[in-house]
Chain A
Amino acid sequence: MDEKERRKRLASLPFAEKLKILEKLRDRSRVIATAGLRKARVRHEREPLDDVTSKS
């Protein structure tokens, strides 16, 4: 199925079904955002300020 067909098929779904897809997309982006924050926090905890400055 080409991209245009896929979009057309998705657009023709009932509104309630499309809203369920929206909810999945929203939840997925929340997970990604949280994972990004977690990674940043872990990195920060592994490299405290003293360690970072001692490297330079």
Chain B
Amino acid sequence: MKATLEMINRMQADGVIGKYAIGGAVAATFYLEPSATEDVDIFVMLPPTPGSSLLSLSPIYEYLTARGCRVAGERIVVADWPMQLLAPHGALEQEALDDAVETEVEGVRTWVLRAEHLVAIALQTGRAKDYARIVQFLEQDAVDADKLKRVLMRHGLVPKWERFEHKYLEE
């Protein structure tokens, strides 16, 4: 992972991407016990393409493939980690990226989404594995309940949270 993060940081320093943060299962591992995952999700701000209002991942793919990384379906393999690049979709993911926590992995600086944002994004995504992850966060007291409540309120997720609570947390 160190080599993967070094490559992402180099790409950031070269202006190919803006701010980035790790999301998904790898980010959850920052707060919880490790659980198996095949890839790493990276939320990334893309600099606007000159002369176009559209954002494109092509410059990232071009940059990485020129440095020996290989494309595998929707992912690009960087130092043995298949990486999925995600431009923030909607206000919640944008806020999550803006508010990411800075940390270090073996001396390499990186950013990870906050636990409360990971839970809110998981709730919004709403697959079975996302709900299972939310339960893990709650079981391990890895979220600040007040912060989570504020995130859910800001993004209109309270009704969905109440349905989730009713279905999965009330015995």
Contacts and interface: CB of A to CB of B under 8 A. Distances in A.
| A interface SS class | helix
Interface of A: 7-8, 10-11, 15-16, 18-19, 21-23, 25-26, 29
B142 A22 contact: no
Interface residues of B, number: 21
Given A7-B140, A11-B140, A16-B105, A23 B1 contact: yes
A22 B36 contact: yes
Contact of A22 (B2, B26, B112): B26
A22 to B, nearest CB: 5
Contacts of B80: 23
Chain A CB within 10 A, most for which of B34, B104, B140: B34
A7 B104 CA distance: 22
B74 interface: no
Contacts of A23: 1, 80
A24 to B, nearest CB: 9
B34 A21 contact: yes
Contacts of A16: 1-2, 104-106
Given A8-B140, A23-B1, A15 B30 contact: yes
A26 B140 contact: no
Contacts of A10: 33-34
A25 B38 CA distance: 9
A9 B105 CA distance: 19
Nearest to A6: B33
